[in-house]
């Protein structure tokens, strides 16, 4: 009888040991899966340190926004330096009237200091086609310590939300460029991070092609219909 009891005890111990091992492995897999699907929060809060009117939605005397609003066009803005350029290469008077009908191609280049980006803008306004190339310095990116000196809290909150979208899209490995598209008619900012390739801004179709340290932007004015 004793000889029979011992094998039964050994068998029971093996079964229990196997169950414990399986349970441990299952718990480990569940924990790893739970950690892998846990969403990271990339929200950030930056407080504005602006003194005076906002450089984007306000009438700050040091900003070109009040002047460009008269054109009703779209443009580029570097939030690190608040340099603003119009994608429209035509010339306008102070009241927003086009100075000279221009059906030819216009070209404009602007640099924004050491370590900052450069705009190269060209286009055929008569055909409603505008192109821009933005070149970045190595390691450049949006500097919130600089941007908060230019933006009101409302505009800064929108930029923080766009930063969150870019980080979520890239799983935290992305980079939000310091250059944004700005709509002079609505004062809205549009990020051109890697999560956006083609999108509409009112009657403008925007296409962004990404290269190393460079972004090529095409804007097509198509007020009567939407492109496929």
Find out whether 132 and 217 touch, Cβ atoms under 8 Å: yes
- Local confidence band at 53 (pLDDT 50, 70, 90 cut-offs): very high
Among candidates 26, 139, 132, which has minimal Cα distance to 80? Answer: 139
What whole-number distance in Å separates Cα of residue 18 and Cα of residue 10?
12
Cβ of 17: how many Cβ atoms within 10 Å? 10
What whole-number distance in Å separates Cα of residue 148 and Cα of residue 56?
12
- Local confidence band at 94 (pLDDT 50, 70, 90 cut-offs): low
Give me the residue label for tokens 């196997």: 18
Which carries the bigger pLDDT value, residue 62 or residue 28?
A: 62
Helices assigned H by DSSP within 133-176: 144-147, 153-169
Cα→Cα distances 23→17, 27, 32, 34, 95, Å: 10, 6, 14, 16, 76
Q: In the predicted model, is pLDDT for residue 74 greater than 90?
A: yes
pLDDT value of position 98: 61
pLDDT value of position 144: 97
pLDDT per position as a tens digit, 163-218 = 999 999 888 888 889 999 999 999 999 998 777 788 999 999 999 998 888 999 99
Alpha carbon 51 to its chain centroid, in Å, reads 25
Find out whether 33 and 27 touch, Cβ atoms under 8 Å: no
210-214 LR contacts (CB < 8 Å, sep 24+)? 213/135, 213/136, 213/137, 213/138, 214/133, 214/134, 214/135, 214/136
Q: Is 213 left (phi over 0), alpha (psi -120 to 50) or beta?
A: left
Q: In the predicted model, is pLDDT for residue 227 greater than 70?
A: no
What whole-number distance in Å separates Cα of residue 66 and Cα of residue 81?
17
pLDDT value of position 174: 81
């Amino acid at each position: 009888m004793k000889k029979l009891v011992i094998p039964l005890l050994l068998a029971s111990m093996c079964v229990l040991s196997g169950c414990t091992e399986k349970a441990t492995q299952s718990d480990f897999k569940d924990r790893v899966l739970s950690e892998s699907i846990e969403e990271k929060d990339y929200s950030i809060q930056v407080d504005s340190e602006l003194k005076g009117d906002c450089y984007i939605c306000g009438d700050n005397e040091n900003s070109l926004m009040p002047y460009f609003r008269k054109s009703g066009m779209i443009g580029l803005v570097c939030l690190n330096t608040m340099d603003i350029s119009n994608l429209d290469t035509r010339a306008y008077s102070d009241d927003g009237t086009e100075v000279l009908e221009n059906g030819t191609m216009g070209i404009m280049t602007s640099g924004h200091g050491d370590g900052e980006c450069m705009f190269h803008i060209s286009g055929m306004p008569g055909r409603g086609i505008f192109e821009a190339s933005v070149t970045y310095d190595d390691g450049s990116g949006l500097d919130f310590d600089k941007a908060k000196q230019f933006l009101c809290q409302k505009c800064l909150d929108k930029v923080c939300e766009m930063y969150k979208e870019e980080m979520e899209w890239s799983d935290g490995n992305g980079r939000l460029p310091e250059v944004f598209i700005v709509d002079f008619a609505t004062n809205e900012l549009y990020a051109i991070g890697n999560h956006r390739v083609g999108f509409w801004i009112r009657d403008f179709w925007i296409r962004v092609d990404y290269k190393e340290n460079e972004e090529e932007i095409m804007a097509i004015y198509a007020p009567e219909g939407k492109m496929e």
